[in-house]
Amino acid sequence: MRVGVLTGGGDCPGLNAVIRAVTKSLIHHGRCEVIGIEDGFDGLMSDPPRVRPLDWDGVSGILHTGGTILGTSNSANPLRDEATTRQVARNARELGLDMLVVIGGDGTMSLAHGLQRRIGLECIGVPKTIDNDIANCERSFGFDTAVATATEGLRRIESTAYSHHRVMIVETMGRHAGWLALESGMAAGADIILLPEIDFDLGSIIERCRERERRQRYTIICIGEGAKETGASLTVREHVAGSPEPMRLGGVANVLRERLQPHLKSEVRATVLGHLQRGGDPTPFDRVLATRFGHHAAELVIAGASGRMVTLQCGAIGSVAMSDVANVQRTVPVDHDLVVTGRDIGICFGER
**Which residues of the shown chain bind ligand F6P in the complex (CB under 6 A)?**
10, 74, 105, 129-131, 173-175, 225, 248-249, 278
The residue at minimum Cβ distance from ligand F6P is 173
Q: How far is residue 209 from each of residues 186, 212, 260, 268, 351, measured CA to CA in Å?
A: 18, 5, 9, 10, 14
Residue 118 C-beta: closest distance to ligand F6P, Å: 24
Residue 249 C-beta: closest distance to ligand F6P, Å: 5
Cα–Cα distance measured from residue 19 to residue 72, given in angstroms and rounded to the nearest whole number: 13
Element (H, E) at 52: strand 51-54
Q: Among the residues of the chain, which ranges form H helices?
A: 15-25, 41-45, 82-95, 106-119, 143-164, 179-188, 202-214, 252-260, 284-303, 337-344
Q: Residue 324, class by beta-carbon neighbours within 10 Å (0-12 exposed, 13-18 middle, 19+ buried)?
A: middle
Residue 211 C-beta: closest distance to ligand F6P, Å: 31
- The number of helix segments (H) and strand segments (E) in the chain equals 10, 13
Residue 25 C-beta: closest distance to ligand F6P, Å: 26
Residue 322 C-beta: closest distance to ligand F6P, Å: 18
Closer of 115 and 180 to ligand F6P (Cβ):
180
- Hey, is 28 helix, strand or coil? helix
Which DSSP state fits 201?
Answer: P
Which DSSP state fits 329?
Answer: B
Give catalytic residue positions: 131
Closer of 25 and 74 to ligand F6P (Cβ):
74
Closer of 26 and 195 to ligand F6P (Cβ):
195
